[in-house]
Amino acid sequence: MLLKLEQLQRAGSFKPRGVLAKLATLSAAERDAGLVAVSGGNHGLAVAEVAGAAGVAAVVVMPENAPARSVAAARAAGADVRLTADIPAAFALAGELQAAGATLVHPFDDPVVLAAQGTAGLELARDAATLGEPPTDVLVSIGGGALLSGVATAVRALLPDTRVWGVETVGAEAMSAALAAGGPVPVTITSAITTLSAPSVSQLTYDHVRELVHDVLVVPDADAVRGSVELAEHAGIWAEPAAGCLVAGARTVVARHPDARLALVVCGANADVADVVGAARPPA
């Protein structure tokens, strides 16, 4: 099994790839207007870090149940963090701020962001090919779908025989719902994994996944939490449950394809250790 360690990136996830690329495309007027981002945690933290380093003002809108460490870190980076009741309310507030003149850095409905997230897949495919035994199957978590879309584009271009799988958690099934409906539809978020909790995917990410992804797997929150613990215990890696869900997904892939050689894109590490360990502990 190959692990692409995106949790080691600055801000603790793959997200700065997209934010840096988007910032590079903005005009001076768009920068001066200030950035606004909506996020379950990782995207908002990346926007805060990148904007702070570039001297650009940023407002980050997160739901109240976003990881406390992400909220604190975004504020420490200089962002104006605003909390809402849930993720749909966060998207609504971000839309209001954009309408008032701020420059939106969307977490997934942006071709620049999608392409930049795909550089993780480009690196994975090139490194795996260099090893001489590339993976038969690559697993990627799904929030709004930009990481999966970008990785699938790169992997399928360089390793055309490799299957790419998406993994969601129960109660955050925006891509599964879109595939069943034939296009993006709103979903009710009940999953506790906030960094995967997009209220819908976009047409952009849906189109990529429909064309390039082998299948989308859905696992319970409890399995995602256990996956984080297993990555710590067996691989010495701390990863948030948004990445832990890939462990459960990997078991499904191996059950279907016993000779599979797996690659997992470990997307982030922004979850409090005590919270994850507590959630993994069986009830008394």
Residues 195, 243: Cα–Cα separation, whole Å? 10
Distance CA 272, CA 262 (A): 27
Q: What is the pLDDT of residues 171-184, one digit of tens each?
A: 999 999 999 999 99
Q: Check pLDDT > 60 for residue 284.
A: no
pTM of the model: 0.94
In this prediction, residue 209 carries a pLDDT of 98
User: Average pLDDT in the 195-210 region?
Assistant: 94
Q: Does position 41 have pLDDT exceeding 60, yes or no?
A: yes
The average pLDDT across 187-205 equals: 92
- Lowest model confidence (mean pLDDT) among 40-54, 60-74, 91-105, 107-121: 60-74
Which segment of 64-73, 159-168, 235-244 scores lowest on mean pLDDT?
64-73
- 271-280 mean pLDDT: 76
Band of the pLDDT at 283, cuts 50, 70, 90? low
Question: Quick one: average pLDDT of 229-255?
Answer: 96
Q: Are the CB atoms for 144 and 205 separated by under 8 Å?
A: yes
Q: Residue 187 burial by CB count (10 A; 0-12/13-18/19+): exposed, middle or buried?
A: buried
pLDDT at 131: 86
